[in-house]
Homo-oligomer: A and B are copies of this chain.
Amino acid sequence: MDKRQAIICLQKKGYKTTDKRKDILHFFERANGYRTARDVNAYMEQRHPEISFDTVYRNLHLYHAIGILEATELNGEKLFRMKCSDDHHHHFICKDCGKTAEIDVCPMDHIGNALANYYIEDHKFEIYGLCPACQRT
């Protein structure tokens, strides 16, 4: 997903494409990894000094709901990133810069019938550490 596709997605579903919405997408297009709502706020405040963080949170939530962004949670903060390709996979997440790497292994393929009587809704597999670039600092 890139900015262009996201804008099409917004329009298709009848949402308005405001400058602020476009700028949020622009931010994520360049981010290449997970970012906090605070990061987005900081970026947006440069361009729109009067922006309300309600606008940021509302749009992050919207983008997540309609599948433009994906979200996770770390240290009590929500993190967002552009949705990547549709095939199921997990992520390595750099604790320093938020950059991610795809992991194609899914542990659900290996659990067999260990949870036979359980109703499974969801799962989370993430690896945390330092990406090659951040190890050098």
Contact = CB atoms under 8 A, between A and B. Distances in A.
A121 interface: yes
Interface in A119-137: 119-132, 135
Contacts of A106: 107
Given A76-B78, A78-B76, A103 B115 contact: yes
Contacts of A65: none
Interface residues of A, number: 35
Contacts of A86: none
Given A73-B73, A76-B73, A76-B78, A111 B120 contact: no
Contacts of A118: 92, 101, 127, 129-132
B125 A129 contact: no
B119 A129 contact: yes
Contact of A125 (B73, B114, B122, B124): B124
A128 B122 contact: yes
Contacts of A132: 117-118
A3 interface: no
Contacts of A115: 92, 101, 103, 127, 129
A8 interface: no
A131 to B, nearest CB: 6
